[in-house]
Amino acid sequence: MSTEFLVLILGYIFGFYMAWNIGANDVANSMASAVGAGAITIRQAIFIAGILNVVGAVFLGGHVTETIRKGIVSPEVLNDPHLTLIGALAALLAAAAWVSFATWKSLPVSTTHAIVGAMIGFGIMAGGVASVNWGKLGAVVGSWIISPLFSLVIAFATFKLIIRLVLSRAAALAAALRFSPLFVGAAMFVVVLSFVFKTPLGKQLALGLLPALAIAAAAAVVAGLLGRRLLVRLMSRNPLKEGAEGVFRYIQVGTSCYVALAQGANDVANAVGPLAVIYFLVKTGGIAGKVPVPIFLLLFGGVGIAAGIAMAGHRVMETIGRRITTLTNTRGFSVDFAAATTVLAASKMGLPVSTTHAAVGGVMGVGLARGLEAVDFGVIFRIILYWVLTVPAAALTSMIIYKLLMIFLPAG
Amino acid sequence: MRMPFVTMFLASPFDGLEEHAKKVKQCTGAFQEAFACHLSAKCVDFEEHRRYIHHLETEADAIKRRIRGHLPQGTLLPVDKFQLFLYLRQQDKVLDAVQHALDWLSYRDDPGIPPPLQPDFLRLAQAVVKTINELDRIVIGARDYFKGFQEQKRIEVKQIIRQVRQMEHEADQLEGAIKRRVFTMDLDAVTIYHMTRLAEIIGSIADHAENAGDMMRAMIAR
């Protein structure tokens, strides 16, 4: 068996393992608020999240893969196909090892961070410290702080707005229905924009910023008005007489779906990015500045995520149902909307943002708006600590694995 | 499992607060029974009542420690953490006062409360227990307010707090009346001291309910 073929097989195995991990651990980000608030059942959440992660990975994934691969490490180190092959595998193995360790120890690390750290390790080994694009890394590090902050502000503002416009009113249900076009429309606006900017299909349309905004605005108005009609009908039949929270329960099903979609699109790159490099190298024997990610690899990653959700999702969801009881539908909507918007904005800027961090920022925003009965802010410091640890740890592991692979898989 | 999103959510202190308020209510109810028993001529199980109350107090204490122990540094609540602790402290002091009252009563079992004063004391006990019965309504109401931030709910809680203040005032009046009466009766000095002090201690139960109400008023301020 040739070295390339062996590397490719290992790439598939560990790529799938990374995808599985994303599914198993991060499914909470998209579905936690909906499950916690009782908007959907555990079974429904697993089903919806699984399907939408696959759809998101296949149709919306792709753009972020490149940033992680190329932005962090200078292209000069990629001149030698064999080195690149080993490096991509080392990065994948190192990230998988770190993520396994984190899962075992219940450390709040992000797969995104692990893969970025592993890439840096490979860059240092292949081309020396100078080959790492430190400026780019600075921007990425900045985004890890900015994305929770951005999400926090959006969630805070959204929840305050909901209090002001809906919850505090004497006739809260009527107010919720009256203002529902605003909330449905805003969510739709974000969805359409990300569709236009992030999907291959949307990119083919090659719309400028202004026409894209116009289309998104039009879709938002239509969705808002239709959404209200639907909500009025649903609420008139609502057997639970839930009031304003009930309106947001229906809206939240939509936003949760969107977060799951965005998660698939955003996180699949962590699993299949290095795999795509290996695949390209093995297939063509050469290395190019841009490596396409074939649809079937995205599907492979998406299925991996879905498998993780299907196998571990139940346990995660049960934990959520037990622990997150104060997250009502209005609060869940605020968190979802903030996380989705943050992920969209960050990936539009080409930054590898962590869905987890966006969701955590959203929870903090609602907490600051006095919306939650008890939130542990200490988690954010722990997250920052493990983020600081993740990058060098994954880098170091990646360097060691790279060295070992160079011994066992020599060129030629 | 590593889910930072989920680990952010802590157990709500309001659950414990409500549980504690209910325990306090149960305790004052038991106090009223014990007190009535003590006054009746054929009370045989006063000690049993006392033990039961002591047991309830231990349980309430565990709840209190649980609430305090589960709010680590950096916990964000809809209310100020210190105000919450001060509220809990006042609610807990009710129990101390109940126990103190029973102890005081037991120090001088014989001759106990002079028969002419007994109806007054029963009325006082009833009046202070009434204030305690509102505590869990305050907690539940406040929790409701933080769910939807409806001004109507806030007004309702403020209304209950005002009622508690009024009830405390009535209990105060009864306490004053007992003391005034004790001094006009032909009693020995020890009994006078025992009775005035007992009235004060029972009266203090209502004071703590009022203080708790004031703390909650501060917590639900906009």
How close, in Å, is residue B185 to chain A by CA atoms? Answer: 54
Give the pLDDT score at A391.
86
How close, in Å, is residue A108 to chain B by CA atoms? Answer: 5
Average pLDDT of the segment spanning A370-397:
84
Does the pLDDT at position A111 exceed 70?
Answer: yes
Which H, E and C letters describe A281-312, residue by residue?
HHHHCCCCCCCCCCHHHHHHHHHHHHHHHHHH
Best mutation target, B3, B144, B145, to test chain A (most A CBs within 10 A): B3
Give the pLDDT score at A1.
60
Per-residue tokens: A100:
């396994």
Give the pLDDT score at B88.
95
Instruction: Note whether A244 contacts B78, CB cutoff 8 Å.
Output: no
Instruction: Note whether A170 contacts B150, CB cutoff 8 Å.
Output: yes
| Inter-axis angle of helices A3-36 and A355-368, nearest 10 | 20
How close, in Å, is residue B161 to chain A by CA atoms? Answer: 21
Does the pLDDT at position A67 exceed 70?
Answer: no
Residue in chain A lying closest to B142 (CA): A373
- pLDDT tens digits for B140-176? 999 999 988 888 899 999 999 999 999 999 999 999 9
Contacts 24+ apart (CB under 8 A), B162-165: B163/B134, B164/B131, B164/B134, B164/B138, B164/B209, B164/B210, B164/B213, B165/B210, B165/B213
How close, in Å, is residue B65 to chain A by CA atoms? Answer: 16
Instruction: Note whether A378 contacts B72, CB cutoff 8 Å.
Output: yes
pLDDT band for position A343 (cuts 50, 70, 90): confident
One-character DSSP codes across A46-63: HHHHHHHHHHIIIII-SH
Task: Find the range with the poorest average confidence among A155-169, A207-221, B2-16, B67-81.
Answer: B2-16
Residue in chain B lying closest to A374 (CA): B77
Q: What is the ipTM of this complex?
A: 0.84
In a domain, B7, yes or no: no
Give the pLDDT score at B1.
54
Facing residue for A323 by CB, picked from B6, B143, B147: B6
Residue in chain A lying closest to B72 (CA): A376
Structurally, chain B folds into a number of domains equal to 1
Give the pLDDT score at B156.
95
Distance CA(B54)–CA(B33), nearest Å, equals: 14
CATH of residue B181: 1.20.58.220
How close, in Å, is residue B163 to chain A by CA atoms? Answer: 24
Distance CA(A263)–CA(A254), nearest Å, equals: 14
Distance CA(B137)–CA(B153), nearest Å, equals: 12
pLDDT band for position A64 (cuts 50, 70, 90): very low
Facing residue for A373 by CB, picked from B7, B14, B74: B14
Prediction pTM value:
0.85
List of E strands, B48-107: 75-76
Facing residue for B78 by CB, picked from A325, A328, A373: A373
Q: List Cα–Cα distances, A259 to A194, A256, B177, in angstroms.
A: 12, 5, 67
All structural domains of chain A with their residue ranges = 3-408
Q: Does A124 touch chain B (CB under 8 A)?
A: no
How close, in Å, is residue B79 to chain A by CA atoms? Answer: 7
Best mutation target, A29, A106, A320, A326, to test chain B (most B CBs within 10 A): A326
One-character DSSP codes across B150-210: -HHHHHHHHHHHHHHHHHHHHHHHHHHHHHHHHHHS---HHHHHHHHHHHHHHHHHHHHHH
Residue B77 with chain A: CB contacts under 8 Å? 373-374
Give the pLDDT score at B126.
95
**Residues B185-220, buried b or exposed e (16+ Cβ, 10 A)?**
eebeeebeebbbebbebbbbbbbbbbbbbbbbbebb
Residue A105 with chain B: CB contacts under 8 Å? 2
**Residue A275 falls in which region: left (phi positive, over 0), alpha (psi -120 to 50) or beta:** alpha
SS3 state at A370:
coil
Q: Of the segments A107-121, A328-342, B79-93, which one has the largest average pLDDT value?
A: B79-93
Question: H or E element: which one contains A376?
Answer: strand A375-376
Facing residue for B7 by CB, picked from A108, A167, A325: A108
Spatial contact of B213 and B138, defined as CB atoms under 8 Å apart: yes
Instruction: Note whether B74 contacts A244, CB cutoff 8 Å.
Output: no
- pLDDT tens digits for A216-274? 899 999 999 999 998 888 888 766 667 888 889 888 888 888 888 878 887 888 888 88
One-character DSSP codes across B7-31: HTBPPPHHHHHHHHHHHHHHHHHHH
- pLDDT tens digits for A296-312? 888 999 999 999 888 88
Residue A327 with chain B: CB contacts under 8 Å? 9
* Nearest alpha-carbon partner for A278 in A69, A137, A18: A69
Q: Does A244 touch chain B (CB under 8 A)?
A: yes
**Positive or negative torsion for Cα A21, A27, A32, A38:** negative
Q: What is the mean pLDDT of chain B?
A: 92
Instruction: Note whether B150 contacts A360, CB cutoff 8 Å.
Output: no
Q: Does A379 touch chain B (CB under 8 A)?
A: yes
Q: Does A327 touch chain B (CB under 8 A)?
A: yes
Distance CA(A215)–CA(A43), nearest Å, equals: 35
Give the pLDDT score at B164.
96
Q: What φ, ψ does residue B43 adopt, rounded to 5°? A: -80, 120
CB proximity under 8 Å: B 147-176 to A? 147-152
Residue in chain A lying closest to B15 (CA): A373
Instruction: Note whether A32 contacts B5, CB cutoff 8 Å.
Output: yes
Facing residue for B5 by CB, picked from A326, A356, A381: A356
Instruction: Note whether A172 contacts B4, CB cutoff 8 Å.
Output: no
Spatial contact of A392 and A88, defined as CB atoms under 8 Å apart: no
**Residue B159: HSE in the Cβ half-sphere, 13 Å Cα cutoff:** 8
Give the pLDDT score at B145.
92
Residue B143 with chain A: CB contacts under 8 Å? 373
